[in-house]
Amino acid sequence: MQLEPYIRTIPDFPRKGIGFRDITTLLREPDAFREAVRLMADPFRGERIDKVAGIESRGFIFGGALAIELEAGFVPIRKPGKLPAEVISESYTLEYGSDSIEVHRDAVLPGERVLLADDLLATGGTMAAAVNLVSRLKGEVAAAVFLIELSFIGGRARLEGIPVHVLIDYRSE
């Protein structure tokens, strides 16, 4: 099954000149959603994956499904102030400014292998921050997996040394 036809492009969103890749059109189709999760999980079957960490918010959708598929625990990586227990934070730069993400201090145990999941790889800043969070908790990042990569942006370079798996690669805007 080809998944790209299930991705809708919204022109000029969130600002003029941007073609937003909308995954809700894939999520609403059970066969396409199921196939995306299967294909995202396939490279890791038979590997030891202790936890799947999904990055807020669309990473929760794929990360949770991957955790079930791979019989692993699920770890939410959230925006600041959303997690109730003790957290560690990691800041990262954006095109204009900075942001941060957090994870519970006890979410990943030393030596656990963690698969990081999100819907889209663009600049790589958020995923690089997630890699740092897992490393600070003494976990091992097994890989990062994405439904979509906007490879013309070059974000994969920020994940040097981390295996990256992508289902759909947009090579141009």
> Which two structure tokens, joined as six digits, stand for 65?
């499904």
* Residue in 139, 146, 149, 120 with CA at minimum distance from that of residue 39: 146
96 has a pLDDT exceeding 90: no
The pLDDT of residue 145 is: 98
Known catalytic residues are 58, 95
- Measure Cα distances from 27 to 2, 6, 10, 12, 139 in Å: 14, 9, 16, 22, 30
Q: What is the reported pTM? A: 0.96
Q: Is the Cβ–Cβ distance between 86 and 111 less than 8 Å?
A: no
Q: Where are the domains of the chain?
A: 46-170
Q: How confident is the model over 71-87, as a mean pLDDT?
A: 98
Decide: helix, strand or coil at residue 13.
coil
Average pLDDT over residues 102-109: 98
Domain 46-170, CATH: 3.40.50.2020
Instruction: Tell me the average pLDDT across 121-126.
Output: 96
Distance CA 32, CA 27 (A): 7
Give the model's pLDDT for residue 173: 73
pLDDT of 151-163, one tens digit each? 999 999 999 999 9
Give residue 94's pLDDT.
78
And the tokens for 19? Answer: 């073609």
pLDDT greater than 90 at residue 139: yes
**86 pLDDT exceeds 90?**
yes
